[in-house]
Amino acid sequence: MLSGCVEWPEEFVDRYTAKGYWNTQTLGDLLRDWAVSYTDRTALVDGNRRWTYQELDRRADSLAGGFLQQGIGPEDRVVVHLPNTAEFVAVCFALFRLGALPVFALPAHRYYEISYLCSLAEATAYIIPDEHQGTDFRKLAERVLADVPSLREVVVAGDPGDFTALDDLYSEPSPLPEPDADEVAFFLLSGGTTGLPKLIPRTHRDYAYNVRISSDNAGFTQETTYLTVLPAAHNYALGCPGVLGTLRSGGKVVLADSGNPDHAFPLIERERVTASGLVPPLALVWTDAAATTEHDLSSLELLQVGGARFEPAAARRMRERFDCVLQQSFGMAEGLLSQTALSDPDEVVIETQGRPLSPDDEVRLVDSQGKNVPEGQIGLLLVRGPYTLRGYYRAEEHNARDFTSDGFFRTGDLASRTPTGHLVIRGRVKDIINRGGEKVSAEEVEGHLLAHPAVHDVGVVATPDALLGERTCAFVVFKGPQDRSVDAFAELKEFLRSRGLADYKIPDRWESIESLPRTGVGKADKADLRARAVRSAARPARRPR
């Protein structure tokens, strides 16, 4: 396995292979099979473009040849920063076939995240759109290129400016390297328990299994039309079952740039969409919009909701509003997927986050000493299994903390289990804000704020929100009393933007505080801060700009 990654111990390799979970096909091989089985059926719809399975397969080969000529080869890390477009899918398969390793950045990421990812992964190439939602990605790339020594190549989907055009890379098919299925296929980003995101290596065989079990659990077939509204670069929409699970089933993937009902509902009607995956805030918006829409949504058979806690009341309303199956989905880029089944009764779908998908997902719920809690009680969720990582990439120190000595991943989530084995996610101990499915590491934002000369100390916590579930609240201890104004917060926001932080990480609410409350061991008392944030939310917000 790629150096810097942690292998599964041999006994597990043998077990997962013997049970047929893992096999020798790479993700690139799978597309070859699908092109043979599904030939000229539509694989992708992107605006007015439609690619068949054969065309996607041809494009993947042709692009892979072009990447190779450009000097991008096996084990090269390539930061892929593309929105939901057909190019995203073609680029993924081209890189899978080469054994080059996509590092999936989210469309919302900006200079700070991208330069960090490129440096951490020692990326040789960076793939971008020309522009997306008002941002010129070529400008972003210029900055990143100047700062990251390993980066040699910027490839642009669209008008390349001074860089290389993706369209120019399509070339005559040439012999390609043949990566092994036990190798890393790509990197996902961790939602972050610590300051900076970590890279999660996913192998061909573990992810192929992930895609297989999740598309089976969702009942995907050739008749499936999946609408991709969340970023396809995120595990949930990529392969749970998402884009890859639809392609595996011979269905049609409709790529959308936004989940806004104004955009999504006409697409559902036009393409006769049968399934989609949403985060809870989007589920709320769809539920409201469906009441008055003039669009025909009757083709919908399955709506998945996951990424953050879905309140039972909201789930119930959605279940009543849409004449289709609701599926709760609890997952993580690190691996474990727990989803309700199509046949689960309403109460289970509304109240639980389903059951782990593999019979060999070993889930433990433990107390702070690592002892199993009694059945039905809340514990820290640990997991080990055939598609859950054994270690982050190049992160020995974190790995020592985030994994038990026998290889269980400490998810940082709190859960309980019903007598039927369904998981109910009850909270978490990791220091993140789950902003409607988008994960914000408190430590990361605090680090940036501490770099501002007026800031003496800072604590970032979640505050409850009716739409997003949680929003971010920053408690700031200023160095001087003159700084404690709304203007000072506006400046801090601007400061975070100027550092190139993704917009979703910028705190929604700001409070100044004399000093941070401390726990007995001197750490910032986040529980106290959260309680203060709830109290202050009852007062009018101080939201600069």
Binding region for ligand OOB (CB under 6 A): 191, 235-236, 240, 306-309, 328-333, 337, 353, 411, 413, 425, 428, 434, 437, 439
107, 127 in Cβ contact below 8 A?
no
CB of 100 to ligand OOB, least distance (A): 23
Residues 445 and 460: their CA atoms lie apart, in Å, by 7
Residue of 343, 77, 298, 58 whose CA lies nearest to 172: 58
CB of 399 to ligand OOB, least distance (A): 17
CB of 329 to ligand OOB, least distance (A): 5
Give the count of beta carbons closer than 10 Å to the beta carbon of residue 173: 10
CB of 445 to ligand OOB, least distance (A): 17
Residue closer to ligand OOB, measured from CB, 366 or 490: 366
CB of 438 to ligand OOB, least distance (A): 8
Write out the H or E segment, with its range, that includes residue 206.
helix 204-217
Residue closer to ligand OOB, measured from CB, 246 or 434: 434
Residue of 512, 537, 516 whose CA lies nearest to 527: 516
Residues 299 and 301: their CA atoms lie apart, in Å, by 6
97, 144 in Cβ contact below 8 A?
no
Residue of 30, 81, 84 whose CA lies nearest to 60: 30
Residue closer to ligand OOB, measured from CB, 83 or 469: 469
Chain centre to alpha carbon of residue 514: 37
Using CA atoms, how far residue 126 sits from 72, 97, 121, 162, 217, in Å, is 11, 18, 11, 14, 35
Residues 214 and 29: their CA atoms lie apart, in Å, by 19
Residue closer to ligand OOB, measured from CB, 148 or 232: 232
Residue closer to ligand OOB, measured from CB, 98 or 247: 247
Transcribe 87-150 into DSSP letters.
HHHHHHHHHHHHT-EEEE--TT--HHHHHHHHHHHT-SEEEEESEETTEEHHHHHHHHHHH-TT
CB of 280 to ligand OOB, least distance (A): 8
Q: Which two tokens stand for residue 398?
A: 């974190």
Residues 211 and 209: their CA atoms lie apart, in Å, by 5
Q: Which two tokens stand for residue 480?
A: 């001087």
Residue closer to ligand OOB, measured from CB, 179 or 307: 307
CB of 330 to ligand OOB, least distance (A): 4
CB of 56 to ligand OOB, least distance (A): 23
Residues 5 and 275: their CA atoms lie apart, in Å, by 35
Helix (H, G, I), strand (E, B) or coil at 473: strand
CB of 353 to ligand OOB, least distance (A): 5
Residue closer to ligand OOB, measured from CB, 236 or 478: 236
Residue closer to ligand OOB, measured from CB, 63 or 381: 381
Residue closer to ligand OOB, measured from CB, 245 or 306: 306
Helix (H, G, I), strand (E, B) or coil at 453: coil
CB of 537 to ligand OOB, least distance (A): 21
Nearest residue relative to ligand OOB (C-beta):
331
Residue closer to ligand OOB, measured from CB, 245 or 407: 245
Residue closer to ligand OOB, measured from CB, 179 or 192: 192
Residues 232 and 22: their CA atoms lie apart, in Å, by 24
CB of 192 to ligand OOB, least distance (A): 9
